[in-house]
Amino acid sequence: MNSKEYIASGILELYVAGSLSEKENQEVYEAMQKYPEVLSEVQSIENAIVQLTAFAKKDSSYAFDDIKNQLKVDAPKVIPISKQKPNWLQYSGWAASLLIGSFLMYTIYQNNQLKNQIATEKQQLEEQIDKASNSLAEAEKLITVFRDKEIISIPLAGQKVSPTSYAKVYWDKKTKSIYLDAKGLPTPPKGKVYQVWSLKLNPLSPTSLGTLDAFTADNNKIFTIENANESEAFGITLEPEGGSISPTLEQLYTLGAVAVTS
C-alpha cells in the first residue's frame, strides 16, 4: 500500500492500540520509515490518546505539586507512608480514557472501511450506468439503421447442416458495412467459430468478412462488419477457431442472395 492507502485503511489506529500481529506491526513500522506522512499520522493518533488520558487525570487528587512540596525541606526527614486508601477514581479515569481511545480508534477504522465500501459501490454504479447508456445509444443507432429505406435487407435461411438456423444482413452500401443479426444461430461448439462470407455467384467466389469471435459473449448477437465488396449473396459457415481461407461447405449454416433490383 502507498501512504494514502495506509492512512485511509484504519490500520494505523490498530497499530497504536497494539491490536496487530507481529507481521502487521513490522509492515506498519517499515511504512513509517518509508513515508514521513505515515509517521506523522501515527504521532497524531498517539497525541490524541495522550490528550484523552490527560483529561481523565485532570481531577485526580494525586498531584505532582504535592510531592514537590514534601521534598522542599532544610534537613532530611522520614516521610511517613501515607495510609490513604488507593484512589480508585483515579485508576478508573485512566481505564476510561483507554476505553474511549480504543473505541475512538475502532470508530475511525470502521468509518474508513465504510468510506472504501461506498467508493467501490459508487464506481460500480457509475460503470453500470455508463454501460447502460452505451447500450441504449447503440440500440437507438441500430433502430435508425434498420428503418433506413436505403438499407438493403437480406434474410439468410438455414441450410442442410442446420435447417432451423437463420440470420439477417442489413447492408449499408454508403458506409460499406453490414449489420448482421445472428440471433438465429446456435451456440458454436468449443473450438469452433462462425465465419461470415461475401459471395459472387458467377463464378462462385467467396470473400471472408471475418469471424464472430464474440458470439457467445454478445447477448444481442448483432455485429457490425466492414464490407466493401460487390456482394451478390452472404453465407455463414462453422469453422475452426481462427477461421478458414475458404468456406467449409459441409458446415454452411445460413445462406441468402441479394435481391436484384431493376
Res 54 pLDDT > 50: yes
* Residues 10-34 pLDDT 10s: 777 777 777 778 888 888 888 888 8
How does pLDDT run across 55-68, given as a tens digit for each residue? 555 544 444 455 45
Q: How confident is the model at residue 202 (pLDDT cuts 50, 70, 90)?
A: confident
**Region 103-118: what's the mean pLDDT?**
67
Q: Give the model's pLDDT for residue 79.
A: 47
Q: Which residue has the cell 495522550?
A: 50
The predicted structure's pLDDT at residue 88: 47
Please state, for a pLDDT cut of 90, what percent of the chain lies above it: 31
Stretch 163-182: mean pLDDT, rounded?
91
**What pairs with residue 154 in β-bridges?**
169
For residue 33, the model assigns a pLDDT of: 86
Average pLDDT, the chain: 76
Is the pLDDT at 124 greater than 80, yes or no? no
Bond before 247 cis per omega within 30 degrees: no
Q: What pLDDT, on the 0 to 100 scale, is given for residue 31?
A: 83
In terms of average pLDDT, the best of 81-85, 137-141, 256-260 is 256-260
Give the count of alpha carbons within 13 A of 187, CB side only. Answer: 6
pLDDT category at 134 given cuts 50, 70, 90 is low
Range 168-196 average pLDDT: 92
Residue reference for cell 457467445 = 216
Strongest mean pLDDT among 34-38, 115-119, 185-189: 185-189
Helices (H), 58-87: 64-71
- Quickly list DSSP for 99-134: HHHHHHHHHHHHHHHHHHHHHHHHHHHHHHHHHHHH
CA–CA dist 149, 57 (Å, integer): 87
- CB distance 228 to 206 below 8 Å: no
Q: What is the architecture of the domain spanning 152-257?
A: Sandwich (2.60)
Query: Which pLDDT band, with edges at 50, 70 and 90, does 239 fall under?
Result: very high
Q: Which residue in this structure is represented by grid cell 443479426?
A: 181
Contacts of 196 by beta carbon, 8 Å cutoff, 6+ apart: 180, 208, 209, 210, 211, 212, 225, 234, 235, 236
Q: What is the CA radius of gyration of the chain?
A: 39
For residues 152 and 171, give the distance between their C-alpha atoms in angstroms, rounded to a whole number: 5
Residue 24 has a pLDDT of 83
> For residue 209, what pLDDT band results from cuts at 50, 70 and 90?
very high
Does 47 score more than 70 pLDDT? yes
Best-predicted range by mean pLDDT among 130-134, 147-151, 251-255?
Answer: 251-255
Q: Does the pLDDT at position 194 exceed 80?
A: yes
166, pLDDT greater than 90: yes
Task: Tell me the average pLDDT across 214-225.
Answer: 88
